Amino acid sequence: METQEKNIKGFMLIYSGQIFSLFGSSLVRFALIWWLTQLTGSAQVLATASLMAFLPDLVIGPFAGVLVDRLDRKKIMIAADGFTALATGVLAILYLRGSLEVTYVYGLLLARSLGTAFHFPAMESSIALMVPKNQLQRVSGLKQSVNGLINIVGPPVSAFLIAFLPLEWILAIDIVTALVAILPLLVTSIPSPENKDKRITVSSVLSDFKAGFDFLLGWKSLLLFALMIMLVHIVVIPAMSLMPLLVTDIFGGEATEFALIESVFGVGVLIGGLTLTAWGGFRKKTKTIISSLILCGVGFLIVWMAPSAQFYIGILGTFIFAFSVSIVAASIGALQQTVIPSEIQGRVFTLIRSATNAMPALGLAIAGPITESIGIKSWYLAGGLVFIIVGVAAGLIRDVRDIEEQRVHGDVFEAQKQHQHLP
């Protein structure tokens, strides 16, 4: 019990520092996007900026996960936060010298995403080593609550600062918050997975990558679960991207209505995370995920059914969806931390994350033709049905529903290591 308590306290200390870093990142992200908007007014520039923000995570994420499983995760997080602070500092100097250009902003967004590609798997895979399994779902709920709160508070705070401070001061805030995130890492111990071979070679990286890929493909239940996550990701991002058009074209709203629905979404994420933190979810995490997926679908369908003159019904549907998707995201993270062996979590997490990050592009590609041919609301009808079908299917497919009872698959991984000489 003492070890568990010590681990939880250590995690909470580390995460308290990360909250500052997340908030600083939120301020800078908003400020840079606004700077690009004011400077260029170009949709292509903003789209390129968005691409820079997730490209490294998509491309090198799986290999970053391999390194996370083989190296000291604490040092990786320190290096990632330090690298982000350094990149932000360079941009601040360029702005002070009057030589800041759009391409340099792209470079910073690319650098920040590169840091995230290493920081995310290192942080996520460390949680299972520091937090008792019966508390993982609560911790995930806490993280979702923090994300929701930052999404609510970050943009208006950044807008306020932009009105009174030059850009370099906002960039400086991000540097300070990154350094604050590093301090708890320096004084907190993070357990290491039982990987005895720490050598980094091309063959070892490829071998580890193959081990993670084989693990995912070799466990039918986890593979089906990952495919379901990917399927709902096709729906979520396009739905959020279409929200401005939903507000203006369907409900006849303006910027005020759009700001309101965005805030309601953030409040839904916050309350969903707080609910899961207090409640802890069902004993079976899959039951929490399945019921919340279906509720996500209900939220989408309410938006679809909302009459044009009754914007408040669309607001209600948005809140239900945000509340539910917050619980889904937190519970999925807790489930993965529970069932995937700690020594392979980094590479498997990033494999799934990279695959799911590729789905929004596909969703956006098909959302355009669908909405142009049969209307914006049709996407929310399709999305609602996808969520409900995936939720019901997960409940009916025993391999997915009972994945937590299959944690003995870790023994299969041990057998694979012996036969294939995996690290």
What region, left, alpha or beta, does residue 158 occupy, with left being phi > 0 and alpha being psi -120 to 50 degrees? Answer: alpha
The per-residue pLDDT for range 82-96, each reduced to its tens digit, is 998 998 898 888 888
* SS3 annotation, the chain: CHHHHHHHHHHHHHHHHHHHHHHHHHHHHHHHHHHHHHHHCCHHHHHHHHHHHHHHHHHHHHHHHHHHHHCCHHHHHHHHHHHHHHHHHHHHHHHHCCCCCHHHHHHHHHHHHHHHHHHHHHHHHHHHHHCCHHHHHHHHHHHHHHHHHHHHHHHHHHHHHHHHCCHHHHHHHHHHHHHHHHHHHHHCCCCCCCCCCCCCCHHHHHHHHHHHHHHHHHCHHHHHHHHHHHHHHHHHHHHHHCHHHHHHHHCCCCHHHHHHHHHHHHHHHHHHHHHHHHHCCCCCHHHHHHHHHHHHHHHHHHHHHCCCCCHHHHHHHHHHHHHHHHHHHHHHHHHHHHHCCHHHHHHHHHHHHHHHHHHHHHHHHHHHHHHHHHCCHHHHHHHHHHHHHHHHHHHHCHHHHCHHHHCCHHHHHHHHHHHHCCC
Q: In terms of pLDDT, which residue wins out, 253 or 57? A: 253
In order of their start, the domains of the chain are 1-133+150-188 (1.20.1250.20), 197-423 (1.20.1250.20)
The candidate with the shortest Cα–Cα distance to 226, out of 423, 364, 399, is: 399
Q: Is the pLDDT of residue 5 over 50?
A: no
pLDDT of residue 176: 93
**Res 303: pLDDT:** 93
What average pLDDT does this structure show over 362-387?
A: 77
Which of 164-173, 318-327, 368-377 is the least confident region? 368-377
pLDDT score, position 194: 61
User: Is 349 or 241 the better-scoring residue by pLDDT?
Assistant: 349
Return the pLDDT at 416.
Answer: 46
> Chain-wide mean pLDDT for the chain?
80
Structure-model confidence comparison of residues 259 and 271, the more confident one: 271
Residue 361 has pLDDT above 70, yes or no: no
When pLDDT is averaged across residues 54-62 and rounded to a whole number, the result is 71
Confidence of residue 181 (pLDDT cuts 50, 70, 90): very high
- Which of 251, 257, 365, 379 is CA-nearest to residue 321? 379
pTM over 0.75: no
- pLDDT tens-digit profile of 101-144? 888 888 888 888 888 888 888 888 888 788 887 787 788 888 87
Chain centroid, CA 303 distance in Å: 24
pLDDT at 290 over 90: yes
The average pLDDT across 209-217 equals 78
What pLDDT is attached to residue 197?
A: 54
In this prediction, residue 412 has a pLDDT band, given cuts at 50, 70 and 90, of: very low
More confident call, 237 vs 135: 135
Q: How confident is the model at residue 1 (pLDDT cuts 50, 70, 90)?
A: very low
Q: Which of 56-60, 133-137, 155-159, 378-382 has the highest mean pLDDT?
A: 378-382
Name the pLDDT band for 68 (thresholds 50, 70, 90).
Answer: confident
Among 196-200, 323-327, 363-367, name the one with the lowest average pLDDT: 196-200
pLDDT exceeding 70 applies to what percent of the chain?
81
User: Quick check: 356 pLDDT over 50?
Assistant: yes
